[in-house]
Amino acid sequence: MTDASNGMVVTGAARGIGRAIAELYAERGWRVLSADLSLPPNLRGQRRVKADVSTAAGRERIVRAAREMGGVQVLVNNAAFQGAHGSVLDVSERGWARTLNVNLTAPLLLTRALVDLLPRGAAVVNVASVQGLFAEQGNAAYNASKGGLVNLTRAMALDLAPHGLRVNAVAPGAISTEAVLQSITESDDPEQTRRDYEDLHALRRLGTPREVAQVVYFLGSEDAAFMTGTIIPVDGGMTASFMMAGRPV
């Protein structure tokens, strides 16, 4: 089986990590179907679909486009809503519901909707977060959604193994996406905020979208043929530490 014969679907591919994943697969000769709320960029060899993964209509649009593309060897559930900040005491019900719908329920329902197009040997990769492994103060909905996605990944691995499918997840640390860079530049002290982000990681820098895409690619490939139900941190050592990236307290 050569890479050139393969097709893949990635959600949330208009920018950031999803876009880097689409670009990497396209570069390696895959047929890529990118889905997002707004039409993803037109990369060579790519199909694009405008779809909200949290709606049945959006998922159906993705399934139709995937069927037209031919087989799907890899599905990457990457789209996420990161906008509902708030603690367990004040996160809005609306923000909570949107976060859980997009980040947790949509990966379940999209995978289920596409399962008939995934041949034995195909793989699903979920994009979770270090915030699915540990919590951040004041970010209850996102923490719960990514923690749910981590264990959903394990449940999917068990339930889809009889279908010959593997399911794994990556848990990125802070990655230099448009969203993260914007929050740095819009902060009161951008230089200090950048250093604070960097210092969360033992490697003292942000990760790049490409560095996450490369691990996603590995998990989707036959090089990872004996891996399923695993959660791989791509976090520059953030979760290797008890706290403060290994600095003494």
Q: Which residues bind ligand NAD (CB under 6 A)?
A: 11-12, 14-18, 36-37, 52-54, 78-82, 102, 127, 129, 172, 174-175, 177-180
| Nearer to ligand NAD (CB atom), residue 1 or residue 153 | 153
CB of 12 to ligand NAD, least distance (A): 3
CB of 161 to ligand NAD, least distance (A): 24
CA–CA gap between residue 70 and residue 81 (Å, rounded): 29
Q: Is 71 left (phi over 0), alpha (psi -120 to 50) or beta?
A: beta
| Nearer to ligand NAD (CB atom), residue 112 or residue 163 | 112
Of 25, 142, 197, 217, the catalytic one is 142
| Nearer to ligand NAD (CB atom), residue 101 or residue 221 | 101
CB of 120 to ligand NAD, least distance (A): 27
CB of 145 to ligand NAD, least distance (A): 8
| Nearer to ligand NAD (CB atom), residue 225 or residue 240 | 240
**Residues 170, 177, 53, 143: is their CA dihedral positive or negative?**
positive
Is the Cβ–Cβ distance between 163 and 224 less than 8 Å? no
| Nearer to ligand NAD (CB atom), residue 73 or residue 177 | 177
CA–CA gap between residue 12 and residue 205 (Å, rounded): 24
- Taking CB atoms, the residue at the shortest distance from ligand NAD is 16
CA–CA gap between residue 40 and residue 123 (Å, rounded): 23
CA–CA gap between residue 42 and residue 197 (Å, rounded): 31
- Asked about 142 being catalytic, the answer comes back as yes
CB of 52 to ligand NAD, least distance (A): 4
Using the structure block, give the residue that is written with the tokens 């290797």.
240
Task: Annotate 99-143 with DSSP letters as a single string.
Answer: HHIIIIIHHHHHHHHHGGG--TT-EEEEE--GGGTS--TTBHHHH
| Nearer to ligand NAD (CB atom), residue 76 or residue 165 | 76
CB of 54 to ligand NAD, least distance (A): 5
Largest CA distance in the chain: 56
Is the Cβ–Cβ distance between 75 and 168 less than 8 Å? no
CA–CA gap between residue 118 and residue 141 (Å, rounded): 31
Using the structure block, give the residue that is written with the tokens 């060579």.
44
Which residues are identified as catalytic?
Answer: 142
